A and B are shown apart, each in its own frame.
Chain A
Amino acid sequence: MRDIFVEIWESIRRNKLRTCLTGFAVAWGIFMLITLLGAGNGIMNIFDSNSEGLDVNTMRVYGNTTSKPYGGFKQGRYIELDEYDLKLTASPVFADHIDEISATLSQSGFKMTYGKRYFDVSLNGVYPDVERLYRIEMLAGRFINRNDIENRRKVIVLTHLHARNFLGGKENYESLIGQRVKIGNLSFKIIGVRHGAENENDTEIYTPFTTLSTIFSKSNRIDMLSFTFHGLDTEEENEAFEKDYKRVLNNYHGAAPDDERAIWISNSFTMNMQMNKGRHVLDVFLWIIGLFTLLSGIVGVSNIMLITVKERTHEFGIRKAIGAGPWSIMKLIIAESVSITAFFGYIGMVLGMVACRVLDATLGSKPIEVLGESITIMENPSVGLGVALEATILLIVAGTLAGLIPASKASRVNPIEALRAE
């Protein structure tokens, strides 16, 4: 092994400039590959962090308008979900897949009073899972829990914007916990203060779903029904399940059983799946660009090795005359090609990773103002150990391929003619 490296070093040492220029092309190729993949990862990470909390498989079900006439109704009729849909969802038919069911209901037109201060608010009846789904950030107290739902407790979660107003501008939100506000004619206990996004006018007030639906809702309607599920592992299975589910709900609402639009389902699992597909396509695309950039470097190495072989023909003739087999000559050239490719490739890889860090420091951490909205373009652009390993294998394969033709040329040198050539 050491002997081979000594030989390679001797050969490279004689052609430093040539080797470096060729190596630059390889380094550039790998640099581009790593930087592109890193940037791609950075962009995908943004999508990932936006859809965080949806990692559990959840379907959200909304009422929509019918797409075909059925049972004496015209098409275009609006379907409104109600509590019977909750019962249907909980029926044993779906028990194989559905785990936890939750629903939301919002009703506007309430006056919330605390002392002399009041707000016009709409109430959102929710289940505890909303905290995770909407990524609610609690500043004080707690969010709605199972007991609140079961006992239909009259409790609410406010935003810190309301709380600040109630406290007269102070921010000791803890002091509000356990206090009572009046909504309509009823007294509600404040159990939590959450962060409300100021620029998005986020003033949703949460109360247990059951409380809102029993006390205020006359029609039993619900806005959105959601449930977590398991055991649906492919797109086909999800589609089949959604079809069955829609058929049951359509039947109840008097819509055509095969009406795809009467009920609208947003499925986090298939959405994730599609996003992964998108990520995969992006990855493949970036790999192709990177590989083609690398290809020019590889051709360069191959070219240089051909020249080297031509220059060393006489030497190979000598080696063969004194007993070098074809394979040992071939090995020499391939090893040299792999060494050049791997060495410069690694330089490119390290530089690519440095470039990813630079991207992270410039685009990654700071949001950019685009048309008045602040957008973060990428988050933590970097490539994992897996990509580094793949790139290493790629370099070795590429180096071998680059050396193959020159090496077989060298191994076929005829010693008689090679010795004559000088």
Chain B
Amino acid sequence: MLIELKGVNKTYDNGQPLHVLKGIDLSIDRGEFVSIMGASGSGKSTLLNILGILDNYDTGEYWLDGKLIKDLSERQAADYRNHMIGFIFQSFNLIGFKTAVENVELPLFYQGVSRHKRHMLAMEYLERLGLKDWASHYPNEMSGGQKQRVAIARALITHPQIILADEPTGALDSKTSVEVMDLLGQLNREEGVTLIVVTHESGVANCTDKIIHIKDGIIGEIEMNAQHNASAFGTSTIMK
């Protein structure tokens, strides 16, 4: 198993303790295309942060590619994030004063890759995502879909073990949303990228092969969705 969570608990303590994750057990295999679905407040964002090593958990174990992710120093956590995890965010989170290609290069910069080499790689990824002509444009000159594709290129460039997408279509219209989800599906099928999408939209979840429902901090039903027929609104649209 690529990801193995055993009895993960997380409590926030802002004035009064808030038990967000109440013993999460979860395994995700290499090459899976999974969505984690839940209402707001269900703990899905916290789970994503823990999976992305952005946050710590209190008790339990999180194994990622055979490594126990627990009590890491900031430096180690940054290193693991850099090498093993790619992030795709709802609001893209591109750096505004950097061009598309510079944004894509950035994870490689933190790996110490030479300027020339990382530029070549970044151009290669932009080309694969059909953004070659936009390489020297700044994020504010691009459409939402283009920005998200730049973000996907940035997530892919380090060949991470997993890609975590947090509401990747949240800021996109339905047509672009379909395109982005198709792109993610294609990356999963053709390149074997392990993808975990966190969403509250059933249409988005329907695009994935496995839907993990989370509710009140515990894993509920795990729906196998190889046929992509889980959505009540049809298979090929994302309801906005």
A residues engaging B (CB < 8 A)? 2-3, 10-11, 14, 314-315, 317-328, 415-416, 419, 422
How many whole Å from A417's CB to the nearest CB in chain B? 10
- Please state if B78 and A318 are interface contacts (CB–CB under 8 Å): no
Task: Assess the B81–A321 pair: CB atoms within 8 A.
Answer: yes
Contacting pair A415 B75 (CB below 8 A) = no
Q: Are A416 and B93 in contact (CB-based, < 8 A)?
A: no
Q: Which B residues lie at the A interface, using CB under 8 A? A: 49, 52, 54-55, 74-75, 78-79, 81-83, 87, 89, 91, 93-98, 106-107, 109-111, 115, 154, 158
Per the bound structure, the CA–CA distance linking A322 and B110 in Å amounts to 8
CA distance A254 to B54 in the complex (A): 94
B154 contacts across to A, CB distance below 8 A: 322
**Contact across chains for B81 and A318 when beta carbons are under 8 A apart:** no
Min CB distance B40 to A, Å, is 14
Least Cβ–Cβ distance between B75 and chain A, in angstroms? 5
- Nearest CB to that of A315 among chain B residues? B95
Given contacts A323-B78, A324-B110, contact A416 B95 (CB under 8 A): no
A10 to B99, CA, bound (A): 12
The answer to whether A325 and B54 have CB atoms under 8 Å apart is no
A-B contacts at CB below 8 angstroms, number = 60
Contacts of A318 on B, CB cut-off 8 Å? 93-95
Known A2-B115, A10-B97; contact A321-B54, beta-carbon cutoff 8 A: yes
Q: Which residues of A contact B79 (CB under 8 A)?
A: 323, 325
Nearest opposing residue in chain B for A10, CB measure:
B97
A14 to B97, Cβ gap below 8 A? Answer: yes
Q: Report the minimal beta-carbon distance from B54 to chain A, rounded to whole angstroms.
A: 5
B49 touching A325 by the CB < 8 A rule?
no
Is the beta-carbon distance between A416 and B55 smaller than 8 angstroms? yes
Please tell me if the beta carbons of A416 and B54 are within 8 angstroms of each other in the complex.
Answer: yes
The one of A314, A326, A422 in contact with B78, judged by C-beta atoms closer than 8 angstroms, is A326
Q: Which residue of A lies closest to B45 (CB)?
A: A416
Contact B78–A325 (Cβ < 8 Å): yes
Chain B residues near A416: list those with CB within 8 A.
49, 54-55
If A322-B82, A325-B79 are given as contacts, then 11 extra A-B residue pairs at C-beta distance below 8 Å, sorted by A number, are: A318-B93, A318-B95, A319-B95, A321-B52, A322-B154, A323-B110, A324-B78, A325-B75, A416-B49, A416-B55, A422-B91
Contact check, B74 vs A419: say whether CB atoms are below 8 A apart: no
Let me know if B97 and A327 touch, CB within 8 A. Answer: no
Is A320 a contact of B78 with CB atoms below 8 Å? yes
**Residue contact B83 to A323, C-beta cutoff 8 Å:** yes
Give CA–CA (A315, B106) in the complex, Å: 12
- Which of B78, B87, B109 lies at the interface centre, i.e. has the most chain A CB atoms within 10 A of its CB? B78
Bound together, the chains give a CA A323 to CA B76 distance in angstroms of 10
Contact A323-B93, Cβ < 8 Å, known A328-B110, A416-B49: no
> Which B residues are CB-close (under 8 A) to A323?
78-79, 81-83, 107, 110-111, 158
Q: Which 6 A-B pairs have the closest CB atoms?
A: A323-B82, A325-B78, A323-B110, A322-B107, A318-B93, A325-B75
Picked from B49, B54, B93, B109, the residue with its CB within 8 Å of the CB of A3 is B109
A116 to B74, CA, bound (A): 103
Contacts of A314 in B (CB 8 A): 93
In the bound complex, what is the Cα–Cα distance between A422 and B78 (angstroms)?
A: 22
| Given known contacts A321-B52, A415-B54, A416-B55, A326 and B74 CB-to-CB distance under 8 angstroms | yes
Closest chain B residue, CB of each to CB of A14:
B97
